[in-house]
Chain A
Amino acid sequence: RKEVEQDPGPFNVPEGATVAFNCTYSNSASQSFFWYRQDCRKEPKLLMSVYSSGNEDGRFTAQLNRASQYISLLIRDSKLSDSATYLCVVSLGGSQGNLIFGKGTKLSVKP
């Protein structure tokens, strides 16, 4: 079983749509959770951290369910500029700080 699993997509949505990405992780000892965004042929960039209480940043909402080992990202009112690959990332914490990356979910927002 993969450590971090995501639906690869692609998700093709019209502008203004709401889209949700899901992610599951296998290691129950995972400490920290993130969503990174990666544009085509660019480097990954941190989009937001994910907290147990859920957190929101503008049109983006992230949720964590530790019991189900499940992470989600909701994007409301999609913009063309949201087109990218979204990477679910998990960390075990500790001295290594090893980030475990999912393979990413590709989003394409169409006019």
Chain B
Amino acid sequence: DAGITQSPRYKITETGRQVTLMCHQTWSHSYMFWYRQDLGHGLRLIYYSAAADITDKGEVPDGYVVSRSKTENFPLTLESATRSQTSVYFCASSVQLETQYFGPGTRLLVL
């Protein structure tokens, strides 16, 4: 039972490059979320999705794009990476809105 997985786990990229972080869950949860975690800020919601083909912005969506063509996948794309997007990114999923299960995270470094 894989649960919720993220790939890659670690990524180094350069400013201006496009980067896609993958999130896959095997529970068929309706809701999926993307957060970033930075020192001094805690976890902040980037985007979320209530179901396939339904996405909405969170607290810090600028510079990010998401899609959800299948229930189990929720990729996050940084269209043109900036140094300020260096962070740890967590994907989460839930059946009910509030009990969220997190993936192991992706550590992204933008040079």
Residue numbers of A with Cβ under 8 A of B are 32, 34, 42-46, 49, 87, 91, 93, 95-99, 101-104
B67-111 CB contacts (< 8 Å) to partner A: 90, 94, 96-105
* B34 interface hit (Cβ, 8 Å): no
17 CB-based A-B contacts, threshold 8 Å: A42-B104, A43-B90, A43-B102, A46-B99, A46-B100, A91-B98, A95-B50, A96-B48, A96-B56, A98-B58, A99-B43, A99-B45, A99-B100, A101-B42, A101-B43, A103-B40, A103-B42
Smallest CB separation, B40 vs chain A (Å): 7
C-alpha spacing A58/B40, complex, angstroms:
31
Give 18 new A-B contacts, CB below 8 A, not counting A43-B102, A43-B105: A42-B104, A42-B105, A43-B90, A43-B104, A44-B43, A45-B102, A46-B100, A46-B101, A87-B43, A93-B98, A95-B97, A97-B48, A97-B94, A98-B58, A99-B45, A101-B42, A101-B44, A103-B41
C-alpha spacing A46/B101, complex, angstroms:
8
C-alpha spacing A46/B63, complex, angstroms:
29
Task: Name the CB-closest residue of B to A4.
Answer: B42
Residue numbers of B with Cβ under 8 A of A are 31, 40-45, 48, 50, 56, 58, 90, 94, 96-105
- Assess the B40–A43 pair: CB atoms within 8 A: no
Given contacts A34-B98, A96-B48, contact A44 B90 (CB under 8 A): yes
Inter-chain contacts of A34 with B (CB < 8 A): 98
C-alpha spacing A43/B44, complex, angstroms:
14
C-alpha spacing A104/B42, complex, angstroms:
7
Inter-chain contacts of B41 with A (CB < 8 A): 103
C-alpha spacing A32/B94, complex, angstroms:
15
C-alpha spacing A103/B42, complex, angstroms:
4
Q: Which 3 A-B pairs have the closest CB atoms?
A: A97-B97, A43-B102, A103-B42
Inter-chain contacts of A93 with B (CB < 8 A): 97-98
Q: Which of B31, B43, B90 contacts A97 (CB 8 A)?
A: B31
Task: Name the CB-closest residue of A to B91.
Answer: A43
